[in-house]
Structure 1
Amino acid sequence: MARLTPDRTSGRIASLPLFHQVAGSRIVVVGEGAMGDAKQRLVERAGAIPVGEPEAHHAALAFVALENAEEAAAVRQRLKAKGLLVNVADRPELCDFTTPSILDRDPVLIAIGTGGASAGLAKHIRLRLEAFLPQRLGELARALAAGRDALRAELPDGDARRRAVDAALRPGGTLDPLDEASADRVESWLIDPADEARARIESIHLTSDDPEDLTLRQARWLGEADAIYHGADVPPAILARARADATRHPLDEAPDTPRSGFALVLTRG
């Protein structure tokens, strides 16, 4: 199966990341040894029911974990013929989907994938993240979920709610995700969630077409901005780093002063 290598200047990605709800469903696992056991544990951990190839007609996904390359390819072909999406362990060229390395802060899940390039690399990135992400990150997520109705009552406008949450979750904000104590502050934050969400405008002057050359602050601004004002010469790969729901506007429409939310102006030298 041919694989496309994403062009960094196009803004394309190699795979579509998804979190698939599989609890209670059947997933085919054809495997042997430690590799097969690992796939079965993964399926069970997600709440699904591992089944064998004869029960493939009840399933939509399958894992093949066989050492023999020819046997693995043959099993994959049979499962594909039955309409299943198939993952073949250690053979990314035969995979319809790949499995990431998972960092679990329930209900927060962080999935690190390399498109099958290196499972070891994904694992070690996860281990680095494990070292500094707070153990209580899941508590913060649950507290925000519990306060959803209160936030909606305080800020009925959806854009205003999003700006308030973005402001609180910024580095150093009241609910900074990297602060172990943030979960304890959700209740008091809900009393006046709009307090931190002041209108603001920032500018980035690009000196490179490569998004990897963005500074950490610039990358963060792109991920936070509600509205992006940019010239036609700003590369798609840079714009791809912006929030998907951020509105896009021509550069000549950029306001002189902030009106509401967070506006970001992108210019290029």
Structure 2
Amino acid sequence: MHSLPVFLRLQGRAVILTGEGEAAAAKRRLLERAGARIVGEEAEAALAIVADGDEAVAARLRARGILVNATDRADLCDFTLPAIVDRDPVLIAIGTGGASAGLAKALRQRIEAMLPARLGALAAALYRARDAIRARWPDAGARRRAIDAGLGAGGVLDPLREDAADAVPSWLAGEEAGLDGGRLAAIRLASADPDELTLRAARLLGEADRIYHRGDVPRAILDRARADAARVVADHKPDRPGAGLSLWLEMAERG
């Protein structure tokens, strides 16, 4: 991972913007949407955008300890500006580390077409229901599994459903079937390359509570699992994998 993605709260905070023309105007609009207070080069600020990619300006700002984005000059950038899918309060950022703004834009357009306009309303509804969710599922593990099931593909709260926000009350009132019984899914990996994971394998890695695996399963594959999922090296499938979803990973034998 070449960069650490972060979301900065800029409301009322100073950001330096230099340069003229359409590139500067576009950056100004973006900063204004985020609520930033736009200032000139001599002002005090933690961030700066050099919209014309001027190397000398970027060098002066960096010498002052200011983090700089220089348009079309990836070599001068301390941070890059992603393509953004805005479903407030849901934000999806697509970055390429400055390699190709066109690719980031193309991916944004694809994702825009996939996501319902009311996705933000679902996030807001879940936020308002957070106390009721804790009361419904006091145990943290059971609560996470209930949320995963509701938000999963085809679930009551499937984020790709336009009416998912309206379904939160009925989801809270319903019965969560099979969330605590535990299940084990086995994945035999044909390749050590995480980019060659099947859609099913990638989805299960993102959902699993714990990963049982042989010692030869590459770390690059394990890194595709949830960060908080337990990793357990084992010689064989567990007889009692535990509550929630567990995975058994092993490499396929090569003939």
TM-score, normalised by the number of residues in structure 2: 0.94
- Corresponding residue for 1:191? 173
Aligned-pair CA distance for 1:256: 2.4
Q: Could you list the runs of 5+ residues in structure 2 that have no partner in the other structure?
A: none
The corresponding residue for 2:212 is 229
Q: Structure 1: how far apart are the matches of 2:172 and 2:78?
A: 43
Choose the corresponding residue for 2:155, options 159, 164, 173: 173
Partner of 1:5: none
Partner of 2:109: 127
Indicate the residue corresponding to 1:205 in structure 2: 188
The one-letter amino acid paired with 1:34 is E
For these two proteins, the number of residue pairs brought into alignment is 251
- Gapped runs of 5+ residues in structure 1? 1-12
- TM-superposed deviation, 1:124: 0.9
Report what 1:146 is aligned to. Answer: 128
Percent of matched pairs sharing the same residue: 58
| 1:25-64 equivalent positions in 2, closer than 5 A | 25-55=13-43, 57=44, 59-64=45-50
Say if 1:151 and 1:91 are closer, same or farther in 2 by CA, change over 3 A: same
Deviation at residue 129 of structure 1 after TM alignment:
1.1
Shift of 1:162: 1.0
Cα RMSD (Å) of the superposition?
Answer: 1.4
CA offset digits 1:219-255 (Å, max 9, x no partner) = 0001111101112211111111111111111124742
Q: 1:123-182 CA distances to partner (integer Å, 9 max, x unpaired)? A: 011111111211111111111111100001111122221111111111111111111121
Q: Is the 8 A contact 1:226 1:263 kept in 2?
A: yes
**2:216 maps to 1:259:** no
**2:214 and 2:236 in contact (8 A); partners too:** no
Which residue in the other structure is 1:9 paired with? none
Name the counterpart of 1:17: 5
- Give the superposition deviation at 1:110: 0.6
Letter in 1 for 2:110: R
The question of 1:66 aligning with 2:52 is answered yes
Question: Counterpart of 1:96 in 2: which secondary structure?
Answer: coil
Secondary structure, in 3 states, of the residue corresponding to 2:42? helix
**Equivalent residue letter for 2:101:** A
C-alpha displacement at 1:42, in angstroms? 1.1
SS at match of 2:177: helix
For residue 133 of structure 2, give the secondary structure of its aligned residue in structure 1.
helix
Structure-1-length-normalised TM-score: 0.89
Where 2:93 maps in the other structure, the secondary structure is: strand
Q: How many angstroms does 1:196 deviate by?
A: 5.7
Give the equivalent residue in structure 2 for 1:6. Answer: none
Structure 1 CA distance, aligned partners of 2:175 and 2:110?
Answer: 32
Structure with bigger RCO (C-alpha 8 Å, 6+ apart)? 1
Letter in 2 for 1:65: A
Give 1:195 deviation, angstroms.
3.4
Local SS of the residue matching 1:36: helix
Of Structure 1 and Structure 2, which has the larger fraction of its residues in helix?
1
Distance 2:112 2:233 in 1: 41
